[in-house]
Amino acid sequence: AAENKSVDLKAHPWARRLGCEVLELEADRAVVALPFRDENCNPGRSLHGGVHASLCCFAGRLAAGASTDRPVRLLDLSVVYLLPAVGVDLRAEGRVLQRGKALMFCEVRVCDPQGRTLACAFTTLAAGEQSSDSTAERIDWRGFIGGVPDAGPIGRGLGAASFMGSILEIEHAGSGRAVLRMDARPHVLGDDGSHDPGALATLLDSAGALASFSSAPGSFVRAMTPGLQMSFLGPTGGETVVALAHNLGRSGDLFANSIDLVGRSSGRLMARGLLTYRIVAKPGKRTA
C-alpha cells in the first residue's frame, strides 16, 4: 500500500466544523472518521442527512485527490441511506473505482462501529479548476412561492434546531414548497471561497425535507431521507445560495422533491437535485 498522506483540515472548514478526522489517505483511497456530536443531529440524536452526504463528499474528494496534484471538484453525488445513525460514531471509506484523464468515479461507504453500512454513495469528480458558467440558467427565486414568505410552525421549529439553525435560514415552508438560504459563513466555505459541496448537499437535503413536511401537516413518528441525487454546476464564488424545493408528489409515506440551488443576487443556477423523503405518521393520524 502507498504511504499515508497527511491532510490539513484548515483547508476544509466544513469538514472541520463537522468534526471529521482523516484516519488513512493513500492512492485512490481515504478513510474518514466522524465522532458523534449532538450538534450534527436532528432532534432525537439522529444524524442529519446532510452530514452523511458531507462525509461522502469529503471522503470521495480525498480519495480522488490523493493521486494528483491538481485540484478535484465534485460533479455529481448520489447517496442512499440504508439505516439511521443515532448516537454513534461513523467511519467512511472512499475508493476510486475508475480514474481517467479528466474524470474520476468514487464509491463511499459509511459504517457504524459494528461494521453495518448506514449509507453508501457514488461520486463523479473532475480534475482542474472550474470557473462560473456565464451561460447557466437564471431563476427568479423571488417568484418561486408566488406570495409572502412564511416559514410556518415546522420551519420555525427546525430553524431553531442547533444544527440547521447554525448553517442556514428557513424563509418559507408551505403548500409543498420551501425556500432556504445559506449565507457565506466561513465554516461553509472551502479554501477557494466557494461553498463546500457537502454544505450545499446539506442545504438541499434540508430544503427537500421542508417541502415534504409542508405537504403533509400533522403528527408523525419519524422522518428520514432514503435517497439524494445532486449535480453541481459550478462554484458559488461565495454568493449567498438559496434553495428552492418543490414537492413533486407522494406515494403513501414517500415524497419526491426537486430542488434548485441558485445565487441570491445573480439568480444563477448552481446545483440541482432530487430528494426522496419519508414521513411516517402516528397510528390513526393522517399526514394530509
3-state secondary structure of 275: strand
H or E segment to which residue 106 belongs: strand 103-111
pLDDT, greater one: 282 or 243: 243
Query: 3-class SS at 173?
Result: strand
pLDDT in tens, 133-181: 667 889 988 899 888 899 988 888 877 777 888 899 999 999 999 999 9
**Residue 153: per-residue pLDDT:** 85
Q: Quick one: pLDDT at residue 152?
A: 87
Asked if residues 238 and 189 have their Cβ atoms less than 8 Å apart, the reply is yes
Instruction: Return the C-alpha cell found at 96.
Output: 476510486
| Per-residue pLDDT, 272 | 97
Find residue 168's DSSP bridge partners: none
pLDDT digits (tens, 9 = 90+) for 263-280: 999 999 999 999 999 999
Tens-digit pLDDT profile for residues 114-125 = 999 999 999 999
pLDDT in tens, 7-57: 888 889 999 999 999 999 999 999 999 999 999 998 888 999 999 999 999
Grid cell in block for residue 258: 426537486
Q: What is the pLDDT of residues 78-106, one digit of tens each?
A: 999 999 999 999 999 999 999 998 899 99
Burial readout 192-219 (b: 16 or more C-beta within 10 A, e: otherwise): bebbbbbbbbbbbbbbbbbbbbbbbeee
Q: What's the confidence (pLDDT) of residue 285? A: 54
Confidence (pLDDT) at 57: 97
Tell me which of 247 and 154 has the higher pLDDT: 247
The torsion of the CA quartet 11, 15, 21, 23, rounded to 10 degrees, works out to -70
**What's the predicted TM-score (pTM) here?**
0.94
Query: In the numeric block, which cell numbers belong to residue 93?
Result: 471509506
Question: Is the model's pLDDT at 1 over the cut of 60?
Answer: no
d(CA 120, CA 240): 29
Q: The sheet that has 29-34: what strands, in order across it?
A: 21-26, 29-34, 90-99, 103-111, 117-127, 72-81, 220-232, 269-281, 254-263, 241-251, 177-182, 169-174
* pLDDT at res. 108: 98
User: Regarding predicted confidence, which is higher, 201 or 133?
Assistant: 201
